[in-house]
A and B are shown apart, each in its own frame.
Chain A
Amino acid sequence: AQTVTQSQPEMSVQEAETVTLSCTYDTSENNYYLFWYKQPPSRQMILVIRQEAYKQQNATENRFSVNFQKAAKSFSLKISDSQLGDTAMYFCAFMFSYGGSQGNLIFGKGTKLSVKP
């Protein structure tokens, strides 16, 4: 069974600084997706960034980037130039992919990020 572990329940960062959220996962699958989702206080989950396991290049979306270490099964999220609007719960998630079909999304327990002015 796949598991996703986020070891940092809470983190804080000063506005404009950089913060890294950790995520490790365990799987025997070779083809899968990894995601970081953000859940702001308004509660609707939105996708921050995704990574396909077969791609060696780390995904980047504006101020958000990941450090994907497949052998180590690590998938950390780096937020640069943190903004107050980045304050939210961040969930790391895993989904296996096989033969065109996709498994269920498995979430970590989340990291609560607070950006301080």
Chain B
Amino acid sequence: GAVVSQHPSRVICKSGTSVKIECRSLDFQATTMFWYRQFPKQSLMLMATSNEGSKATYEQGVEKDKFLINHASLTLSTLTVTSAHPEDSSFYICSVRTGTNTGELFFGEGSRLTVL
């Protein structure tokens, strides 16, 4: 498997500020990471696929200028919520695919963003 860690686990920010969330693959070099968003009592919605050394692939309806993704190394992907607004408050979860033929994804602990 893979151990995935996110930081911070909780963050509160003022409206209009930017927030960066880190996703680290601690024991696996991940060429691909995924970012999900989860609203309360809702399912996980894929936001984007983060590719090491290249641009992220965003899902339809996700604003790439608002949700900046950087995957500069094989163990770190970051999601920056720019000019955050209260409607961006959510639970953000990253995951890693290890490349084996199991199809399994390994998830981080998630980051709870609250925008005041």
Contacts and interface: CB of A to CB of B under 8 A. Distances in A.
A52 B98 CA distance: 17
A78 B28 CA distance: 32
Given A43-B91, A45-B93, A105 B46 contact: yes
A109 B103 contact: no
A109 B40 CA distance: 11
Contacts of A52: 103
Contacts of A95: 103
B107 A46 contact: yes
A1 to B, nearest CB: 11
Given A33-B103, A95-B103, A104-B49, A44 B110 contact: yes
A50 B107 contact: no
A97 B107 contact: no
B34 A104 contact: yes
A43 B44 contact: no
B48 to A, nearest CB: 10
Interface string B77-116: 0000000000000010101010001111101111000000
A109 B101 CA distance: 25
Interface of A: 33, 35, 37, 42-47, 50, 52, 91, 95, 97, 100, 102, 104-105, 107-110, 112
Kindly list the 3 A-B residue pairs having the minimum CB-CB distance in the complex, ordered from nearest. A33-B103, A45-B107, A107-B43
